[in-house]
Protein backbone atom coordinates (compact mmCIF):
# COMPACT_ATOMS: atom_id res chain seq x y z
CA UNK A 1 0.00 0.00 0.00
CA UNK A 2 1.19 3.48 -0.79
CA UNK A 3 1.18 5.95 2.06
CA UNK A 4 -0.73 9.21 1.68
CA UNK A 5 2.32 11.59 1.82
CA UNK A 6 4.14 9.52 -0.77
CA UNK A 7 1.10 9.51 -3.04
CA UNK A 8 0.87 13.31 -2.73
CA UNK A 9 4.57 13.75 -3.57
CA UNK A 10 4.26 11.50 -6.62
CA UNK A 11 1.16 13.34 -7.82
CA UNK A 12 2.84 16.72 -7.30
CA UNK A 13 5.89 15.53 -9.25
CA UNK A 14 3.75 14.36 -12.15
CA UNK A 15 1.70 17.57 -12.02
CA UNK A 16 4.85 19.69 -12.15
CA UNK A 17 6.14 17.61 -15.06
CA UNK A 18 2.82 18.00 -16.90
CA UNK A 19 2.93 21.75 -16.25
CA UNK A 20 6.48 21.83 -17.58
CA UNK A 21 5.50 19.95 -20.75
CA UNK A 22 2.55 22.29 -21.30
CA UNK A 23 4.65 25.40 -20.73
CA UNK A 24 7.40 24.38 -23.14
CA UNK A 25 5.73 23.44 -26.45
CA UNK A 26 8.91 23.82 -28.52
CA UNK A 27 12.53 24.22 -27.60
CA UNK A 28 14.30 27.29 -28.94
CA UNK A 29 17.06 25.14 -30.41
CA UNK A 30 14.53 23.85 -32.92
CA UNK A 31 13.25 27.18 -34.13
CA UNK A 32 14.74 30.44 -35.35
CA UNK A 33 14.81 33.30 -32.87
CA UNK A 34 12.28 36.09 -33.51
CA UNK A 35 14.93 38.56 -34.70
CA UNK A 36 16.67 36.13 -37.07
CA UNK A 37 16.68 36.96 -40.78
CA UNK A 38 14.20 34.99 -42.83
CA UNK A 39 16.03 32.76 -45.30
CA UNK A 40 15.20 33.34 -48.95
CA UNK A 41 13.56 30.57 -50.92
CA UNK A 42 15.46 31.62 -54.06
CA UNK A 43 18.74 29.73 -54.59
CA UNK A 44 21.85 31.86 -54.57
CA UNK A 45 23.62 31.45 -57.89
CA UNK A 46 27.29 32.28 -58.11
CA UNK A 47 29.46 32.23 -61.20
CA UNK A 48 32.72 30.32 -61.12
CA UNK A 49 34.75 33.49 -61.63
CA UNK A 50 33.33 35.04 -58.44
CA UNK A 51 34.49 32.14 -56.26
CA UNK A 52 37.86 32.25 -54.55
CA UNK A 53 40.52 30.18 -56.33
CA UNK A 54 41.08 27.95 -53.29
CA UNK A 55 37.53 26.59 -53.50
CA UNK A 56 37.37 25.45 -57.14
CA UNK A 57 40.80 26.06 -58.71
CA UNK A 58 40.17 24.10 -61.91
CA UNK A 59 36.85 25.79 -62.65
CA UNK A 60 38.14 29.30 -61.92
CA UNK A 61 41.36 28.85 -63.92
CA UNK A 62 39.52 27.48 -66.96
CA UNK A 63 36.94 30.26 -66.77
CA UNK A 64 39.50 33.07 -66.53
CA UNK A 65 41.87 31.66 -69.17
CA UNK A 66 39.24 31.42 -71.92
CA UNK A 67 38.33 35.10 -72.05
CA UNK A 68 37.48 35.35 -75.75
CA UNK A 69 34.28 37.37 -75.32
CA UNK A 70 34.41 41.11 -76.06
CA UNK A 71 32.34 43.74 -74.29
CA UNK A 72 30.89 46.87 -75.93
CA UNK A 73 34.19 48.78 -75.75
CA UNK A 74 36.10 46.06 -77.57
CA UNK A 75 38.04 44.89 -74.51
CA UNK A 76 38.03 41.33 -73.44
CA UNK A 77 35.24 40.62 -70.97
CA UNK A 78 35.81 38.16 -68.17
CA UNK A 79 34.42 34.77 -69.06
CA UNK A 80 31.66 33.24 -66.97
CA UNK A 81 31.67 29.51 -66.61
CA UNK A 82 28.92 27.72 -68.41
CA UNK A 83 27.91 25.87 -65.27
CA UNK A 84 26.48 27.90 -62.43
CA UNK A 85 27.10 26.82 -58.91
CA UNK A 86 24.40 26.94 -56.27
CA UNK A 87 25.75 28.18 -52.95
CA UNK A 88 24.30 26.32 -49.99
CA UNK A 89 22.15 28.40 -47.70
CA UNK A 90 23.66 28.58 -44.24
CA UNK A 91 21.77 26.76 -41.51
CA UNK A 92 20.43 28.46 -38.43
CA UNK A 93 23.48 29.01 -36.27
CA UNK A 94 23.34 28.47 -32.56
CA UNK A 95 23.02 31.90 -31.00
CA UNK A 96 24.55 32.91 -27.69
CA UNK A 97 22.16 33.59 -24.82
CA UNK A 98 22.21 34.12 -21.08
CA UNK A 99 22.71 30.90 -19.15
CA UNK A 100 19.73 31.42 -16.85
CA UNK A 101 17.23 32.30 -19.57
CA UNK A 102 13.57 31.25 -19.37
CA UNK A 103 14.18 27.91 -21.14
CA UNK A 104 17.02 26.81 -18.87
CA UNK A 105 15.11 27.88 -15.77
CA UNK A 106 12.14 25.77 -16.91
CA UNK A 107 14.39 22.80 -17.73
CA UNK A 108 16.29 23.02 -14.43
CA UNK A 109 13.02 23.31 -12.48
CA UNK A 110 11.55 20.24 -14.19
CA UNK A 111 14.77 18.32 -13.69
CA UNK A 112 14.96 19.22 -9.99
CA UNK A 113 11.27 18.33 -9.47
CA UNK A 114 11.75 14.89 -10.97
CA UNK A 115 14.98 14.39 -9.00
CA UNK A 116 12.97 15.17 -5.85
CA UNK A 117 10.25 12.73 -6.85
CA UNK A 118 12.88 10.08 -7.58
CA UNK A 119 14.37 10.68 -4.13
CA UNK A 120 10.97 10.33 -2.43
CA UNK A 121 10.00 7.14 -4.24
CA UNK A 122 13.44 5.56 -3.83
CA UNK A 123 13.55 6.38 -0.11
CA UNK A 124 10.07 4.96 0.38
CA UNK A 125 10.95 1.76 -1.45
CA UNK A 126 14.19 1.27 0.46
CA UNK A 127 12.84 2.02 3.93
CA UNK A 128 9.24 0.80 3.98
CA UNK A 129 9.07 -2.12 1.59
CA UNK A 130 12.65 -3.37 1.93
CA UNK A 131 13.36 -2.80 -1.74
CA UNK A 132 16.78 -3.00 -3.35
CA UNK A 133 18.44 -0.14 -5.25
CA UNK A 134 19.27 -1.25 -8.79
CA UNK A 135 21.61 1.65 -9.65
CA UNK A 136 25.08 0.76 -8.28
CA UNK A 137 26.08 4.41 -7.84
CA UNK A 138 22.96 5.28 -5.86
CA UNK A 139 23.35 2.03 -3.91
CA UNK A 140 26.55 3.41 -2.32
CA UNK A 141 24.58 6.36 -0.90
CA UNK A 142 21.30 4.58 -0.19
CA UNK A 143 22.07 3.36 3.33
CA UNK A 144 20.73 6.55 4.93
CA UNK A 145 18.28 9.30 4.09
CA UNK A 146 21.04 11.92 4.22
CA UNK A 147 23.22 9.93 1.81
CA UNK A 148 20.31 9.43 -0.55
CA UNK A 149 19.45 13.14 -0.42
CA UNK A 150 23.11 13.97 -1.11
CA UNK A 151 23.06 11.71 -4.16
CA UNK A 152 19.99 13.31 -5.73
CA UNK A 153 21.15 16.84 -4.86
CA UNK A 154 24.46 16.02 -6.54
CA UNK A 155 22.57 14.77 -9.59
CA UNK A 156 20.67 18.06 -9.84
CA UNK A 157 23.86 20.10 -9.34
CA UNK A 158 25.68 17.96 -11.90
CA UNK A 159 22.97 18.65 -14.46
CA UNK A 160 23.36 22.41 -13.99
CA UNK A 161 27.16 22.14 -13.99
CA UNK A 162 27.36 20.11 -17.19
CA UNK A 163 24.87 22.44 -18.86
CA UNK A 164 27.03 25.40 -17.85
CA UNK A 165 30.11 23.70 -19.33
CA UNK A 166 28.33 23.23 -22.67
CA UNK A 167 27.06 26.81 -22.50
CA UNK A 168 30.57 28.20 -21.99
CA UNK A 169 31.99 26.11 -24.84
CA UNK A 170 29.24 27.27 -27.23
CA UNK A 171 27.33 23.97 -27.51
CA UNK A 172 23.88 25.42 -26.85
CA UNK A 173 21.86 22.42 -28.02
CA UNK A 174 23.85 20.07 -25.82
CA UNK A 175 23.38 22.54 -22.98
CA UNK A 176 19.62 22.02 -23.13
CA UNK A 177 19.89 18.31 -23.95
CA UNK A 178 21.58 17.59 -20.60
CA UNK A 179 18.45 18.65 -18.71
CA UNK A 180 16.18 16.77 -21.11
CA UNK A 181 18.16 13.55 -20.62
CA UNK A 182 18.02 13.98 -16.84
CA UNK A 183 14.27 14.63 -16.99
CA UNK A 184 13.77 11.50 -19.08
CA UNK A 185 15.94 9.36 -16.81
CA UNK A 186 14.39 10.60 -13.58
CA UNK A 187 10.88 10.30 -15.00
CA UNK A 188 11.54 6.71 -16.06
CA UNK A 189 13.01 5.93 -12.62
CA UNK A 190 9.97 7.38 -10.84
CA UNK A 191 7.60 5.43 -13.07
CA UNK A 192 9.55 2.17 -12.60
CA UNK A 193 9.91 2.61 -8.84
CA UNK A 194 6.22 3.45 -8.46
CA UNK A 195 5.06 0.35 -10.31
CA UNK A 196 7.59 -2.12 -8.84
CA UNK A 197 6.99 -2.03 -5.10
pLDDT digits (tens, 9 = 90+) for 145-176: 999 999 999 999 999 999 999 999 999 999 99
pLDDT digits (tens, 9 = 90+) for 80-108: 444 444 444 444 456 788 899 999 999 99
> Is the pLDDT assigned to residue 141 strictly greater than 80?
yes
Mean model confidence pLDDT for the chain: 73
> Is the pLDDT assigned to residue 184 strictly greater than 90?
yes
Q: Is residue 33 part of a domain?
A: no
> Is the pLDDT assigned to residue 126 strictly greater than 60?
yes
HEC per residue, the chain: CCCHHHHHHHHHHHHHHHHHHHHCCCCHHHCCCCCCCCCCCCCEEECHHHCCCCCCHHHHHHHHHCCCCECCCCCECCCCCCCCEEECCCCCCCCCCCCCCHHHHHHHHHHHHHHHHHHHHHHHHHHCCCCCCCCHHHHHHCCCHHHHHHHHHHHHHHHHHHHHHHHHCCCHHHHHHHHHHHHHHHHHHHHHHHHCC
Of 117 and 90, the one with more pLDDT: 117
Q: Is residue 31 part of a domain?
A: no
Shared domain for 147 and 189, answered yes or no, is: yes
Shared domain for 82 and 169, answered yes or no, is: no
Range of the domain at 77: 45-87
Shared domain for 137 and 70, answered yes or no, is: no
Q: Is residue 34 part of a domain?
A: no
Amino acid sequence: MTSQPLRKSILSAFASFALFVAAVPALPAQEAPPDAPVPSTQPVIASASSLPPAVFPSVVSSATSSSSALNSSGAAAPAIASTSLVAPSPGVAERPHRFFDKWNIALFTGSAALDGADFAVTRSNLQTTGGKELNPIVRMFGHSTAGLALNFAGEAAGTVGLSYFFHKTGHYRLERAVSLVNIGGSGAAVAYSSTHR
